[in-house]
Amino acid sequence: MRTTTLSLVVLATANSFAQAPAVQPTASGPRFEVASVRLAGDESRGWQGRRIQTAPGSLTTHGLTLRACILWAYQQPIQIIAPDWINQVALDIVAKAATPAGDEELYMMLRTLLEERMGLKAHFEQREIPVYAMTIAKGGPKFTKSTTEGPLVVLPGKDGSLNITHFSMGELAQEFSRGQFDRPVVDATGLKGRYDIRIDMSTIAAANPKDRMEMESAFITSMEEQMGLKVEARKQEVDVLVIDHAEKAPTDN
C-alpha cells in the first residue's frame, strides 16, 4: 500500500514551480496546539503506507519531503521555485489542533508550522508562461465525487490499474505537470471538490518510456478516454510559489 504522487507511479518526478499575490504563513496564522517535527529516519523514508494522514484537527506525515509538505500546505501551486535540496529533506510530523479542523484549516496550520519550525519564507508571483490547460472533454468527466475528506491517495491495483482517491482538479493538474508533459498543466475545468477514479494503465504501460512524444500521446489518450479530460496548449499567467528561505532541519521540539 502506498500513498504517492501520480507521476511517481508513471514517470520520475521533475521539479515544479508556483506563483500569485504575496501570501505567506505568519506567526499570527492558524496553528496546531501541539506539534512534533523531526527529520525522517530510514524506516520512515521507506514507509510503504500513506505518507500523509489527516483527521479532523490532526496531521501525521511519514518521511514526507519538504517539497511535498510545501505543496500540500499551499495546495499544489502550478510551479514551485526552490533549491533542489528540499527534495531530499524528509519530515516526520505529528500535529494536533485544539479543536476539530477540516483540511482547509490544516493547510494553513501546516504553513504556520513550516514557518515556525523550518524557517520557511515564501511568496507568490504572477508569471505568463506556456502551459497545457486541462479542460473537460466532450461527454463530460468520468470520475465520481469523493464522499470523505482526506489527502490525495494513489494506490496501484494488482491488475496494473491505478486507483486515485480524494484528488482535487488542482492536485491532478500538478501531478500531470511532474514529468508527464514538457510544460506545466493548469486546471481549467472549473470543477470544485474532490474526486475518485480507477485508471487502466495498459495504454501508458505499452508506450516506450524513452520516447517522450509517445508517452505524452498515450497519456493524453488515457486522460480523454478514461477521465473525460483533454489538454490544450496556451500561454497563461499562473501562480508561481517562490521559496525565499528554508532550513534543512527543524528547530527542537
Domain residue ranges of the chain, discontinuous segments joined by +: 10-121, 127-237
For residue 17, the model assigns a pLDDT of 28
Cα separation, 110 vs 59, whole angstroms: 9
For residue 42, the model assigns a pLDDT of 92
Q: Which three cell numbers stand for residue 61?
A: 506525515
Tens digit of pLDDT at every position of the chain (253 positions): 334 444 433 332 223 223 333 344 344 578 999 999 999 999 999 888 889 999 999 999 999 999 999 989 998 676 788 999 999 999 999 999 999 998 889 999 999 999 999 999 999 999 888 899 999 999 999 999 998 877 888 888 888 888 989 999 988 887 787 667 878 888 999 999 899 999 998 888 888 888 888 888 888 899 999 999 999 999 988 888 999 999 999 998 7
Cα separation, 97 vs 106, whole angstroms: 9
User: Which helix (H) or strand (E) covers residue 32, if one does?
Assistant: none
Cα separation, 182 vs 22, whole angstroms: 27
The candidate with the shortest Cα–Cα distance to 65, out of 12, 56, 47, is 47
For residue 76, the model assigns a pLDDT of 67
CA 75 to chain centroid, in Å, comes to 7
Cα separation, 176 vs 215, whole angstroms: 12
